[in-house]
């Protein structure tokens, strides 16, 4: 009966030791939490994995690093790993395994002075734990390059063609043309009628956004000129009155026109000469326009 009680007590002690060992192992072998981050470099194709360190119960911990199912590192000691050369937009995941190399000194006895005698042992490696990240797709951070084809900075009038080009390392998903903060087109060109606008400066912004949300911008400031040309009249010849209220003979009239937008050969000056509401003479030409008016007729 006494032996039976001793056996039960021994079994109970073994159970307590096993339970305590489970608690220690559970605390020691914490789950590996793997975080995978999109680095979003200018060219993209880069992810960085990081994870919590695991303690070794016997020897030294090392990690096996998998990108998907492909082993990338077989004896890795750090807890951060960067992957490059990946395909932008493709989802990847990382798996980390923690291994104990089980290498340690074992006391196999003591010498005559009571000092321990050690033996180096390297048992087969033991996998401690593992963890897997969520899937992440790398992306790039380079905005599209924008070039405004038309108009150039300066004065504009009438119907103006607004156009631009855009290029990117990825796919461009949207385009936009804004004038003074108002979106007027979601294309790369826009026909802008300026005839009803107030003469003033206007701010044109052209932009494009790629599939990763990177946006490139380009701006130009133009002056919409809807004012008429400035006209200056001067005359030369025989003047009979110092107050210029009447003339005699042949009078040379010079008409000079000027406009901030510039006058083209297709923008002629027109000179009307007459008395009251009756037009007696008309001449067309480019500025400066000269006309000899014979007042004797």
Q: Is 209 helix (H, G, I), strand (E, B) or coil?
A: strand
Q: Would you list the domain boundaries of the chain?
A: 1-29, 31-132, 145-224, 230-294
pLDDT tens for residues 150-188? 999 999 988 999 999 999 999 999 999 999 999 999 999
Cβ contacts of residue 208 below 8 Å, gap of 6+? 144, 146, 166, 168, 172, 174, 175, 176, 215, 216
Contact (CB, 8 A) for 178 and 221: no
Which of 139-143, 174-178, 242-246, 255-259 shows the lowest mean pLDDT across its residues?
242-246
Nearest CA to 96 out of 59, 61, 51 is that of 51
Q: Is the model's pLDDT at 194 over the cut of 90?
A: yes
pLDDT tens for residues 10-38? 554 454 444 444 444 444 555 899 999 99
**31-132 is a CATH 2.60.40.10 domain:** yes
- What CATH number is given for 145-224 in this structure? 2.60.40.10
The span from the CA of 240 to the CA of 248, in Å, is 6
The region that residue 77 occupies, defined by phi over 0 for left and psi between -120 and 50 for alpha, beta otherwise, is alpha
Percent of the chain with pLDDT over 70: 66
The span from the CA of 272 to the CA of 280, in Å, is 8
pLDDT tens for residues 74-120? 999 999 999 999 999 999 999 999 999 887 665 666 667 777 766 66
């Amino acid at each position: 009966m006494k032996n039976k009680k001793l056996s039960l007590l021994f079994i109970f002690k073994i159970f307590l030791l096993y339970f305590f060992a489970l608690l220690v192992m559970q605390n020691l072998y914490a789950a590996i939490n793997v975080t995978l981050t999109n680095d979003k470099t200018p060219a993209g194709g880069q992810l960085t994995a990081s994870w919590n360190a695991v303690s070794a119960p016997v020897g030294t911990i090392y990690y096996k690093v998998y990108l998907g199912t492909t082993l990338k590192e077989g004896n890795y000691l750090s807890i951060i790993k960067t992957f490059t050369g990946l395909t932008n937009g493709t989802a990847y995941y990382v798996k980390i395994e923690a291994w104990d190399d089980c290498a340690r000194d074992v006391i196999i006895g003591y010498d005559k002075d009571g000092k321990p005698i050690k033996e180096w042992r390297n048992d087969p490696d033991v996998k401690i734990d593992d963890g897997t990240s969520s899937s992440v797709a790398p992306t790039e951070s380079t905005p599209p390059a924008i070039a405004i084809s038309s108009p150039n900075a300066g004065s504009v009038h009438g119907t103006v063609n607004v156009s631009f080009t855009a290029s990117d390392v990825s796919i461009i998903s949207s385009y936009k043309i804004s004038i003074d903060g108002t979106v007027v087109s979601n294309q790369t060109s826009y026909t802008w009628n300026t005839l009803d606008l107030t003469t003033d400066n206007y701010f044109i912004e052209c932009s494009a956004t790629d599939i990763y949300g990177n946006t490139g911008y380009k701006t130009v400031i133009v002056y919409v000129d809807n004012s008429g040309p400035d006209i200056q009249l001067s005359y030369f010849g025989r003047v009979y009155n110092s107050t210029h209220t009447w003339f005699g003979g042949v009078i040379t009239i010079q008409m000079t026109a000027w406009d901030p937008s510039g006058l083209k050969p297709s923008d002629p000056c027109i000179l009307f000469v007459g008395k009251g509401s009756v037009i007696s003479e008309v001449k067309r030409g480019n500025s400066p326009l000269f006309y000899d008016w014979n007042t004797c007729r």
